[in-house]
Each structure stands twice: as structure tokens, then as C-alpha cells.
Amino acid sequence: MPSTFKPWDASRKRDVVRRHKANPILTAADFPGDVTSVFNSGVIEHEGCTIMVCRVEDAALNPYMWVADSEDGVRFAPRAAPVEVPHDDAEYAEYSARTYFDPRITRLDGTFYICVASHSRHTCRLGLFRTDDFDRFEWLGCISEPDNRNGVLFPEKIGGAYARLDRPNVSRLGEGDLWISFSPDLVHWGRSRCVLRRDDFRWAWHKIGAGAVPVRTDEGWLTIFHGVRTQCAYHYVYEAGVCLLDLEDPTRVVAKAERAILIPQMDYELTGQTPSVVFPTAAIPQPDGTLRIYYGAADSVQCLAEADVNELIAVCRNE
């Protein structure tokens, strides 16, 4: 844990991120059939609608990817059946074809790419899907070394290359930092560098990783991430933080908020399959300057929070 300590400042207490009154916005009860939990889900706007790609489980712990649609970005309706995902990759020959989870959705060059984590014969790896319509999905294969997860693609090329945030684990305890890598083709990745370290924050000393797809602003790439600490030695607490990365060189942190911006406080965040979790997976700017932040809560339900983009930038600068 960092040794730095800041004196008390009462003026710093403010709710920059506000939970939506409709929370939780999607639960297992909204799905047809035997669905018991809705995990961290990717979200994006498409043709006037908001699309959520969910990971769900049934009572036998079989995992599925399932698309839900919304006209207002708040009330989501799951489709009649889960996504039919490809399963002919030899990397997954010994595993269920539906072990993809924690999807993040990025629009690039008019196409949607869904970066997922997946258990393979070589521990957890990042994989990539491509779709044009959220009806048919093409599997592009594994795109990371073993023991890596939370892959998030930037929404545009930077310096002529695709860019990706992720969280490679560095020990058997699952500790990890936030890294960035670059690619000419979305398949071959390199030039990897650590961007944020877990010991940069008092509230995230166990691990820190990518959350939502970065949002371009005049001040830099506004990046909502997750951080994890342990409580009473064994209990993980997942919270959300925010930082600004340089637009031209996102390996450089322009500013980072010292404090978490969203912590587990509500019953649906504190109680569930995995207690004490808020896990951001999407950040969608609105015309009025509001940022909609979608997050999973307690590995059980999907939620929505909102914040003003300019206020988040000010928080990054600790103003």
C-alpha cells in the first residue's frame, strides 16, 4: 500500500458520480429461462439504440453471451436466446465453447470489436470477436499471452496503430497493474508498457485494471478503470477510479484522481454472488456532456451511473 497520506480536506467530499434511480437496470429475472446471474457486460450505442452484450450463467454454472437492447439506455430487454459463438479454436478444445466473459465493445472503422477474457488450456487469455450487426459474431482468436484479462480497445488508431489496455496478472495471487499494448492488425500485439500501478493508489493496492473504453476529450483520454483492495485479508473490494491519458501518447498519464469515484455502498453492490463489487465496463458520452457509466454489481446485476465529463476531468486533476 502507498505510504503517502493526505491531510483531511472536507471540501473534497462530493458525489461526482451519481447512481441512476432505476438501478439495477438488468437482473437475472429479466431473462427467459434458467438464468441466475448477470455479470459484467459491455455496452455501446448503435443506430439509435443501446446494445448490451452480457455474460450470464444458469444454475449449472454454464456461461453464455447474451445480447440485450434498449431504446433509452436504461431499460434493457434481453433477446430470445443467447449468442451463438464460434467454438472451433483448438486453444479451447478441452473447454466449453461458451467460456467468454467480461466483454468490452469498441467501434473501430465502422465495425464492432468485442474484447473478452476466456479460460483456455493456458489459463485466462484475451480473445476478440467482430460483428457488424450484433446478430452474427466472428471469432478472431486469442490476442494475448496467458494469464491476462480485462482487455479494452481504444476507439481509434493512435500513431497509426491500434491500442489496448489490459491487466496481465503477475503472480499466482492474481495481482496486476494496468498495461497498454499496440498492434498493426488487432492480432499481433507488442510495445507493451505499464500505465498505472496498483501501488499508485491507497484504495487499490491488490490489483488495478482496465474498465470502460477510453473516451476522447480535449484534455486527454478519459479512462474509467477498476481497482481492488482486500478487506480482512481475504475479501476483495472492487471500486472504480478515473484518469486522463495523453491523446497522442497514452502510455503517459496526464492526471489521475487520488480517490475512487464509485465504491460499493448499495445493497445490490454489497450483496450478491461476489460481494462488494462495482466493476465499470462502458462509458458512453451523451450530447449534454453527461457520461453514462455502466457497471456490474456484485457479479449479479447490471447498473448505471452518470457523471458530468468536465467534473470527471476536474477530479482527475484533484481539483
The structural domains of the chain, with segments of one domain joined by +, span 11-316
The CATH homologous superfamily for domain 11-316 is Glycosyl hydrolase domain; family 43 (2.115.10.20)
Amino acid at 289: G
CB atoms within 10 A of CB 225: 26
C-alpha cell at 120: 483456455
Residue 4 above 60 pLDDT? no
On the question of a cis peptide bond just before residue 24, with omega within 30 degrees of 0, the verdict is yes
Highest mean pLDDT among 5-19, 145-159, 237-251: 237-251
pLDDT score, position 145: 83
**In this model, does residue 86 exceed pLDDT 80?**
no
Q: pLDDT tens-digit profile of 262-309?
A: 999 999 999 999 999 999 999 999 999 999 999 999 999 999 999 999
Tell me the CA distances in angstroms from 221 to 97, 107, 119, 122, 284, one per residue in order: 35, 16, 30, 32, 13
Quick one: pLDDT at residue 319? 82
**Residue 97 has what pLDDT?**
47
Mean pLDDT on 55-69: 92
DSSP state of 214: P
Task: Among 42-46, 123-127, 202-206, name the one with the lowest average pLDDT.
Answer: 123-127
Torsion of CA 189, 193, 199, 201, to 10 degrees: -80
List residues bridging with 126 in a β-sheet.
117
Q: Is 156 exposed, middle or buried, given 0-12, 13-18 or 19+ CB atoms closer than 10 A?
A: middle
- Is 70 exceeded by the pLDDT of residue 242? yes
What's the distance, CA 88 to chain centroid? 26
- Residue bearing the bigger pLDDT, 119 or 261: 261
